A = this chain, B = another copy of it.
Amino acid sequence: MYQINDNYLKLPGSYLFSTIGKKVAAYSAANPDKNIIRLGIGDVTQPIAPSIIAAMHKAVDEMGNAETFHGYAPDLGYEFLRDAIAKNDYQARGCNISADEIFVSDGAKSDSGNIQEIFSTDNRIAVCDPVYPVYVDSNVMAGRTGTYDPKTETWSNVIYMPCTAENHFVPELPKETPDMIYLCLPNNPTGTTLTKGQLQEWVDYANKVGAVIIYDAAYEAYISEDNVAHSIYECKGATTCAIELRSFSKNAGFTGVRLGFTVVPKELKCNDVSLHALWARRHGTKFNGAPYIVQRAGEAVYSEAGKRELKAQVAYYMNNAKTIKNGLKDAGYEVYGGTNAPYIWLKTPNNMTSWEFFDYLLENANVVGTPGSGFGPSGEGYFRLTAFGNYENTVKALERIKAL
C-alpha cells in the first residue's frame, strides 16, 4: 500500500491564529455589546491604489479581446514586470541584479515555502527566534529538522538564533555552522531590523562558511532609516551567497491580489551548480506563472502615479505605527520595532506570559493582538501589534490601552 510523507505527522498543530480566533469569538459571544478592535493579523486594510486599479481594468479588457488576449505567461514572468523590478528595486539602489535573475511568482509565502526544495534534505537550517512559521514548517515537511521537543518547542536539527531585547534583536552568528540561514529583515514579528553594516557581517559569514542566505525582504518598503539596506544585494558579496524574496503584499496591499518575486543571482553557485538553473527548473515544472492581470498590476506599482500613491499608503500605515508606539510608550510599555516596519513588539508588563497579556488586553481593552510566544520560544513575554488597521481604530485602541 502507498505511504504518506511521515514528516507531516511531526508538525505540531498550527493553532496560533485559530486559537486567537476561538478566544475572540467566545469573548464576543459572551459580550455582544463590546466593539473589538483587531490589530493582530498582518493583513492590510487600505484599498488597492487608483493607478493599479486602472491598470487591472485595462488588462481585464485585453483578456476579453482576441487581438490582445494573453494565454500562458512566460515561465519566469513577463519582461515588462521583470524589467521594472530590476530597474527600480535593484539598479536604482546600486545592486547589480538584472531582469533575468528575477522570478515572478504568486507571492512570497509560496516562494519562502518552496525555495527549500532545491536544496539537499541533509542541509541544516538556522532561523531567528521568534520567526515567521513558514520557514520552519516547510523544512519540517521536507524532513530537514529532526525531532520536535514539545517542552522547549524546538526541533533537534534546527539552529535557533534568539532575538530579544537583551541582544537588541540582533541575531548572533551561530556557534554551529548552518547550511541555510533564513533572515527576514525588517523582521516579522519583532518589527526590528539590522543596519547595513550588521547585515554585511552575515553576508561575509555566509560566504566564509559556505552557507546560503534566504533573505525575506517583504517589509522593505517600510524602511525609514538611511543605514538600513532595502536589499541584501546592497551588501558586498551577496550575489554569491544570497537568494532574496520579495512581496507586493505589504508595499502595495496585494495580500488578496497575489504577487511576489524571488531573486536568484546567476553568480550564486553550489560548487559548479547554478541555483538559478535549479529554481528555473522548479518554477518551470511546478508553476505556470502569475496571472497577466496581476503582473500588469505589479507593473503599475512602479509607475510614477503608483509610486506616489503607494508612498502615501505606506505613510498611512507608518503613522499608525507611530500612534501605537508613542501611545504604548506613554502608557509605560517597553516597545520595539515600528520605525522600519509596520509591526510593534512590546514587552508584556508585570511578567505576564504572552497569552496572559492577550487575554488581559482582549478583556479589558477589547483589543486583539498576537502573542509573541506563537512565533517561537524566545517570543515568550512579548506581544505583537500591527499598523495595518485603519487610523481611527488604531487611535481608539491606543486610547483604551492608555486608560487601563
Contact = CB atoms under 8 A, between A and B. Distances in A.
Interface in A110-151: 110, 113-114, 117-123, 133-134, 137-138, 141
Nearest to A269: B4
Nearest to A260: B288
A257 interface: yes
6 contacts: A1-B209, A1-B270, A2-B270, A110-B288, A138-B285, A291-B291
B289 A4 contact: no
B71 A110 contact: no
Contacts of A110: 286-288
Interface of A: 1-6, 8-9, 11, 14, 41, 43-48, 50, 53, 56-57, 60-61, 63-66, 69-73, 106-107, 109-110, 113-114, 117-123, 133-134, 137-138, 141, 179-180, 209-212, 253, 255-258, 270-271, 273, 275, 278, 281-282, 284-294, 390
Given A3-B123, A71-B45, A258 B60 contact: no
A179 B288 contact: no
B61 A53 contact: yes
The oligomer's copy count stands at 2
The CB with the most chain B CB atoms within 10 A, among A4, A64, A270, is that of A4
Contacts of A209: 1
B285 A137 contact: yes
Given A4-B270, A60-B60, A66-B390, 17 more contacts: A1-B211, A2-B210, A2-B212, A3-B179, A8-B282, A11-B281, A43-B71, A57-B57, A69-B253, A71-B253, A71-B255, A72-B255, A106-B287, A109-B287, A138-B285, A141-B286, A255-B288
Contact of A113 (B61, B121, B285): B285
B257 A292 contact: yes
Given A2-B212, A106-B288, A120-B5, A48 B61 contact: no
B256 A122 contact: no
Contacts of A257: 63, 291-293
The CB with the most chain B CB atoms within 10 A, among A45, A48, A258, A287, is that of A258
Closest 6 CB pairs of A and B: A1-B210, A113-B286, A2-B179, A3-B120, A53-B64, A43-B71
Contacts of A45: 66, 69, 71
A4 B134 contact: no
A119 B284 contact: no
Nearest to A11: B281
A258 B288 contact: yes
Contacts of A120: 2-6
A294 B291 CA distance: 9
Given A141-B285, A288-B109, A270 B69 contact: no
A291 to B, nearest CB: 5
A119 B278 contact: no
Nearest to A9: B273
B43 A278 contact: no
B71 A113 contact: no
A109 B257 CA distance: 20
A257 to B, nearest CB: 6
A261 to B, nearest CB: 14
A322 to B, nearest CB: 21
The CB with the most chain B CB atoms within 10 A, among A209, A211, A289, is that of A289
